[in-house]
Structure 1
Amino acid sequence: MFSRVQRLAPLALNRGFATAAPKKSHRLMKSVLALGAGGLAIWYGWDSIRATKFYWWCADTAMPLVRRLDPEKAHRAGVLIAKYHLAPVDRSFYPELKTSLMGLDFNQCVGIAAGFDKQAEAINELFKSGLAFLEVGGITPKAQPGNPSPRMFRLYEDEAIINRFGLNSEGHSAIVPRLQKEYLRQQKHRLGLIGVNLADNKGTPDPVEDYIEGIKNCGPYSDFMVLNISCPNQVGTTALQQESRLREMLDRIYAYLNTLPHHAPLLVKLSPDLLPEEREQIARLVLEYGVDGMVISNTTVSRPDSLKSAAKTEKGGLSGKPLKEKSTETIREMYRLTEGKVPIIGVGGIASGEDAYEKIKAGASAVEVYSALVYHGMGLVPKIKKELSELLEKDGYANVSEAVGKDVEL
């Protein structure tokens, strides 16, 4: 026979476990809730942290380390930093930089050019970094790898880049769902405008049909569409700027657009290497068809004698500081030829508010940056906006739109 103590011992132990287990579970639950609440507090306050001067300083300080990477890997790192909410946040706002063109309201006139976020991975986060608009792409209908690596080269001494990516794209099937998600997000909480840079596939039997496919698939999820007919890194694309080819393209594209109840504004992106007669022909066609705008300019295949870097002999399109004057001159001439009737987005060699201001006075209504970010980091964006605002005030302009084309005689 068991003694009374022996009989009661298991019962006491069971009772002990019965009371101890809930206490332990309760403590665990409180810890999980505390961690979750802390995590949520950090998450919702993360944008505020990324907006601090210290965070911007850290981001700028890290740029020399990023530049030690292979250029294409550094570019990829930049996209991933933005995609995963690590890019700094810019909350500066200048009312005088607000502008309207093509029926769209730009909350600031500074955006980022096509080529950075090629696959629509970081749209919202780039807006948070102070950019008012961007161009996704170039986007081709079918996925294509582009040209073999290496295909991106830094020209340090010249603050320039040569690239021959060859329109590497994940194609409509991968990119359109991301576009749709981001476009719907922007409809609810507008931070910026989404442009899609449309391109044709390498070796396509019908380039125009590729652009129409881009309009069909990407157009519904964009604020504006850009026909990239000037990429120098894919055989045959720049030939689409020839008068007969461009007329055929616009004929077919507008025949399709006219079947739609409404569509996003349509722009063409032009080369800085156009001959004077080619500029005149394009200007006439743009006016004739009522093209909504022009993006000027793409990269150049020319190589100025001033280039110092060893990589200057690499094939591809040159962008950055050496492109600035050529791009600005093309803007000025196309503004004159279209009598200031067609809005221009200026891009090419912008690294300061003064550079942006030069393009605006030459005829650009808004500007895009890209290559300079490789050398100066995202801190360049608020710097350009601040400097541009100061230049407008100095010259007595209440709004950036008042300065557009002021250096051009019509």
Structure 2
Amino acid sequence: MAFDCINHEYYLRSGDKMLALIRRIFHKYPEFRHDSFKHVARLAPFIPFLGGRPSKSKVLKKVVTFADHSNSIYMSAPIILAAGANKTANRIKDYANVGFGGITVGTATRHFREGNTHRPRIGFLENDRAIYNSMGLNNEGVDVIAKRVDSQLVAAHKVGLSVGISVAETPGITDEQEKLKDILESFSIAYKAGDYIEINVSCPNTGENRVDLDMSFSEKLFGEIMKFRNGQGLRKAVYAKLSPDMSERHLMAIMDMLVRTGVNGVVIGNTYPTAKISELGTQTKREDLHPLRADGDCGGLSGRPLYENMVWNVKFIREHYPQMSVIACGGIDSGYKIFDLLKMGVDAVQCYSVVAFRWMAAHAMRLELEDALLSEGYCSIAEFDDRNPKK
């Protein structure tokens, strides 16, 4: 695939500079700063300088369809707030105020988890415009999260949000059959509520071996998941969230398996494992991440440094597995990047780190995406899709 994605820069505006000031003020309380986004989403329509409201424009409306006739995914824009931003599934529709067209809640495990107990569990890397986190899958359990999603789904759809649920295995289970049962139970509960389900098989921050590194177990897992899905009256899309650090050989092996089992698509990728961040060429060095490395290098990096790596993975998957739906995730902080990725054939993007560095980031990226579309002669995402059908 000859097309190259540029790591587009964006200009710092007054709001971005104010965000930088806020990060400096709360530099000793990074988890508080991380968690404050929910308040911004809630208050955005009521505070004049925030100016956030759900978009009613049809220019960026995106419909993701599937060859196996799974339920389509409808979004007011192909910009999804990644899992980790809203772990509780409270006040879901608020996130339309800040420009998102979709949201993946969670990641949820079968039961409540406190997460990693060390502090801090998150840090901001200013020079790299990146975030390091080692949260440890803290959440209230999939039962609670699914019930909240189910009760809010209609309201979320009215403001243009599609709602997915991310699920993962409960860390600490060593018996293969128990682990399989654990994930299948979480999946079946989430399946009743979400528009789509994301299976997080690549979380690096619990200290456990990642599921996507065990091909034998992964094939059993996705085989059982799709067997359950295919037996339901409603066929909802299933995505696998993969790690961005896999070799070409391993990526090909796991993609072959996902195609065999009938999985609809992939989210590429997750946070980049701490032990390998030197591969990203960050200004911040691995040895400088104290005390965030106190957990033995659990956790990983997200944000701008992941972009080139993510693009390589997307290119590989689109070239070799054109039948798979792809949601790109990693270093996406510009609407021009989103347009480049759409031209490569992705269906949507996920992002989260950018909201810490760009003021009203999703709204800003919407404007840039519209500008990119119009500059190339398209009136809407729908027209772009019609004129550029996937092979």
Same fold (TM over 0.5): yes
Equivalences for residues 362-381 of structure 1 within 5 A: 362-377=344-359, 379-381=360-362
| Per-residue deviation, residues 311-362 of structure 1 (Å, max 9, x unmatched) | 4564321110111111111111111121x21111111111111222232233
Q: Which runs of 5+ in 2 are unaligned?
A: 1-12, 66-71
Higher alpha-carbon Rg: 1
Match in the other structure for 2:30:
71
Q: Aligned-pair distance for 1:403?
A: 6.1
| Residue 148 (structure 2) pairs with residue 178 (structure 1) | yes
Deviations 1:277-297 (A, max 9, x none): 111112212222221121111
How much does 1:383 deviate? 1.2
Tell me how far apart the structure 2 counterparts of residues 237 and 179 of structure 1 sit (CA, whole Å).
Answer: 29
Deviation at 1:364, TM superposition (A): 1.4
TM-score, structure 1 as length reference: 0.78
Name 1:307's counterpart in structure 2.
282
8 Å CA contact 1:82–1:122 kept in 2: the answer is no
Could you tell me whether the CA contact under 8 Å between 1:176 and 1:218 is conserved in 2? yes
In 2, distance between residues paired with 1:179 and 1:237?
29
Q: TM-score of the superposition, structure 2-length normalised?
A: 0.81
User: Aligned equivalents of 2:95 and 2:192: distance in 1?
Assistant: 21
Write the letter of the residue equivalent to 2:317.
Answer: M
Distance 1:342 1:376, change over 3 A: same
Residue 3 of structure 2 aligns with which residue? none
Structure 2 residue aligned with 1:29: none
1:98 aligns with 2:61: yes
CA contact (8 A) 2:222 2:258 kept: no
Matched-pair identity in %? 25
Task: Call closer, same or farther: CA 1:235–1:309 in 2, change over 3 Å.
Answer: closer
Q: Tell me: CA distance 1:186–1:95, structure 2 relative to 1, closer, same or farther (3 Å).
A: closer
Query: Counterparts in 2 of 1:256-275, with a 5 A limit?
Result: 256-275=228-247
Shift of 1:267: 0.7
Using the TM superposition, give the Cα deviation of residue 224 of structure 1 relative to its aligned residue in structure 2, in angstroms: 0.6
SS in 2 for 1:221: coil
- Which of 81-90 and 258-267 deviates more? 81-90
CA–CA distance in structure 1, aligned partners of residues 257 and 249 of structure 2: 13
- Native 8 Å contact 1:90 1:382 kept in 2: no
CA distance in 2, matches of 1:133, 1:249: 26
Cα-Cα RMSD: 2.8
Task: Report the alpha carbon displacement of residue 218 of structure 1 after superposing the two structures with TM.
Answer: 1.8
Matching of residue 146 in structure 1 with residue 149 in structure 2: no
Does structure 1 retain, via aligned residues, the 8 Å contact 2:108–2:167? yes
**CA distance change for structure 1 residues 309 and 192 in 2, over 3 Å: closer, same or farther?**
same
1:194 counterpart residue number: 163
Provide closer, same or farther for how the CA distance between residues 227 and 237 of structure 1 changes in structure 2, counting only shifts above 3 A: farther
CA deviation vs aligned residue, 1:33-57 (integer Å, no higher than 9, x gap) = xxxxxxxxxxxxxxxxxxxxxxx98
Q: Distance in 1 between matches of 2:179 and 2:43?
A: 35
Change (3 A) 1:186 1:375: closer
Q: Could you tell me how far 1:239 is from its partner in structure 2?
A: 3.2
CA drift of 1:81 comes to: 3.8
Contact 2:19 / 2:357 at 8 angstroms: preserved in 1?
Answer: no
| 2-structure distance, mates of 1:84, 1:390 | 27
Aligned pairs for 1:41-60 within 5 A = none
Contact 1:138/1:167 (8 A) holds in 2 = yes
Amino acid at match of 1:79: K
- State the SS of the aligned residue for 2:346: coil
Give how far 1:90 is off: 3.2
**Structure 1 equivalent of residue 369 of structure 2:** 388
1: CA distance, partners of 2:17 / 2:229: 44
CA separation of 1:343 and 1:401: change in aligned 2, threshold 3 A: farther
Distance of aligned partners of 1:289 and 1:397 in 2 relative to their CA distance in 1, 3 Å threshold: farther
Which residue is equivalent to 2:125? 155
**5+ residue gaps, structure 1:** 1-55
1:235 offset after TM fit, Å?
Answer: 3.4
Distance in structure 2 (CA, Å) of the matches to 1:66 and 1:122: 24
- Larger RCO of the pair (alpha carbons < 8 Å, separation 6+): 2
Alignment: residue pair count = 350
The match for 1:317 among 295, 300, 304 is 300
Separation in structure 2 between the aligned mates of residue 347 and residue 74 of structure 1, nearest angstrom: 22
2:97 is aligned with 1:128: yes
